[in-house]
């Protein structure tokens, strides 16, 4: 029997997965455990470990008897100990292409909402006021510069969508060749150049040890005072306390973020008090179509492993000792 264990999920059901995995010798077990102690117990003898938000730490991974793949319902895999999985020769797999349109569209939407101060004017109308002066100063977006931190699938889609806005687009990504950026009319620059030159900075890098707080107090101080920060990647790529101070003190014009370091955002967070900070509850990825695509692609990866093949989207490929699965 080929055993697939789903540790946790936030979807209504697993109907799509069950349909794709409908084989006589595939057993799909689903739970709602996020803590490592329970996860360790339920996954010990699984062939595939599927997770969304559960803590897949070293202790959990070292307890896996014959796991052939760990896969997450997401692009990021920051809840999985990659080093421990690599040491065991277990591929860690994500689904990197299920919500490219959704997240890129949302990033552009946040940029425009911040630039035109749309949430502030909506709040004004709800207060029965009518005065454009509350938006001052406001500047046109045409002719301005957008800086993309990271230039993978999503920021490339952002660049395409912004191509009709008459804006210069810069990008920083040490892993991307200059030619691939030029094809989209994007100029690759150093991180320092991007920070200093951009009117809008949009964060799109994965969360790693190197990118943790990549936007820190020094970066925020180096930004133009008229610049906005957009973040649809991971909350911890931005120093929350530094962002609060920068928005409060007018070091930057404002920010629009879909992710925070602590989620859900605590009720007493000072971020909630800022009029120049737009916060949404990590929904950039969501549409009904995106969820269906995510589930389908995840289940298809499981079938590849079940049939004796290799998954396509291996995050820790370069760290694996050989490519044999357990």
Binned at pLDDT 50, 70 and 90, residue 320 comes out as confident
Q: Using one digit for the tens of pLDDT, what is the confidence trace for 107-154?
A: 999 999 999 999 999 999 999 999 999 999 999 999 999 999 999 999
Q: Give start-end residues of each CATH 3.40.50.720 domain in the chain.
A: 2-97+288-319, 100-279
For domain 2-97+288-319, the CATH superfamily is NAD(P)-binding Rossmann-like Domain (3.40.50.720)
Give the Cα separation of 221 and 240 in Å (integer).
14
- Nearest 5 degrees, angle CA 205-CA 208-CA 210? 90
Query: Among 163-172, 216-225, 228-237, 314-323, where is mean pLDDT lowest?
Result: 314-323
Query: Which of 66-80, 207-221, 247-261, 309-323 comes out lowest in average pLDDT?
Result: 309-323
3-state secondary structure the chain: CEEEEECCCCCCCCHHHHHHCCCCCEEEEECCCCCHHHHHHHHCCCCEEEECCCCECHHHHHCCCCCCEEEECCCCCCCECHHHHHHCCCCEECCCCCCHHHHHHHHHHHHHHHHHCHHHHHHHHHCCCCCHHHHCCCCCCCCCEEEEECCCHHHHHHHHHHHHHCCEEEEECCCCCHHHHHCCCCEECCHHHHHHHCCEEEECCCCCCCCCCCECHHHHHHCCCCCEEEECCCHHHECHHHHHHHHHCCCCCEEEECCCCCCCCCCCCHHHHCCCEEECCCCCCCCHHHHHHHHHHHHHHHHHHHCCCCCCCECCHHHCCCCCCC
Question: Above 90 in pLDDT, residue 106?
Answer: yes
The residues annotated as belonging to the active site are 234, 263, 282
Mean pLDDT of 94-108: 98
Residue 186 pLDDT > 50, yes or no?
A: yes
- CA dist., res. 190 & res. 173, Å (int): 8
Rounded Cα gap, residues 230 and 241, in angstroms: 16
Q: pLDDT tens-digit profile of 149-176?
A: 999 999 999 999 999 999 999 999 999 9
Could you tell me the end-to-end alpha-carbon distance of the chain, in angstroms, rounded to an integer? Answer: 15
**Mean pLDDT over residues 233-261, rounded?**
98
pTM of the predicted protein model: 0.91
The sheet with strand 69-72 has its strands ordered as 26-30, 2-6, 48-51, 69-72, 92-93
Domain 100-279 in CATH 2.60.120.260? The answer is no
pLDDT computed for residue 321 by the predictor: 59
67: pLDDT strictly greater than 50? yes
């Amino acid at each position: 029997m080929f055993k697939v264990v789903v540790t946790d999920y936030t979807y209504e059901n697993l109907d799509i997965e069950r349909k794709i995995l409908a084989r006589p010798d595939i057993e799909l077990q689903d739970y709602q455990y996020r803590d490592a102690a329970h996860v360790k117990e339920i996954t010990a003898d699984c062939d595939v470990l599927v997770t969304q938000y559960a803590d897949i730490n070293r202790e959990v991974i070292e307890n896996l008897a014959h796991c052939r793949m760990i896969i997450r319902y997401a692009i990021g895999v920051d809840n999985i100990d990659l080093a421990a999985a690599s040491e065991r020769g277990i591929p860690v797999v994500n689904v990197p292409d299920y919500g490219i349109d959704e997240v890129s569209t949302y990033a552009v939407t946040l940029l425009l909402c911040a630039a035109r101060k749309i949430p502030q004017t909506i709040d004004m109308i709800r207060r029965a006021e009518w005065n454009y002066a509350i938006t001052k100063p406001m500047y046109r977006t045409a002719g301005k510069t957008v800086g993309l931190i990271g230039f993978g699938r999503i920021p490339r889609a952002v660049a395409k969508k912004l191509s009709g806005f008459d804006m210069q687009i810069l990008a920083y990504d040490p892993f991307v060749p200059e030619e691939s950026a030029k094809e989209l009319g994007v100029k690759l620059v150093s991180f320092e150049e991007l920070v200093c030159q951009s009117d809008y900075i949009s964060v799109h890098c994965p969360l790693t040890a190197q990118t943790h707080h990549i936007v820190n107090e020094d970066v925020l101080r180096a930004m133009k005072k008229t610049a906005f920060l957009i973040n649809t990647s991971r909350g911890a790529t931005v120093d929350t306390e530094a962002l609060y101070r920068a928005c409060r003190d007018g070091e930057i014009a404002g920010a629009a973020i879909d992710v925070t370091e602590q989620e859900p955002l605590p009720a007493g967070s000072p971020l909630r008090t800022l009029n120049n900070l737009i916060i949404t509850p990590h929904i950039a990825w969501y549409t009904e179509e995106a969820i269906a695509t995510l589930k389908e692609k995840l289940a298809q990866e499981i079938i590849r492993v079940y049939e004796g093949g290799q998954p396509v989207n291996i995050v820790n490929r370069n760290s694996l000792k050989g490519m044999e699965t357990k």
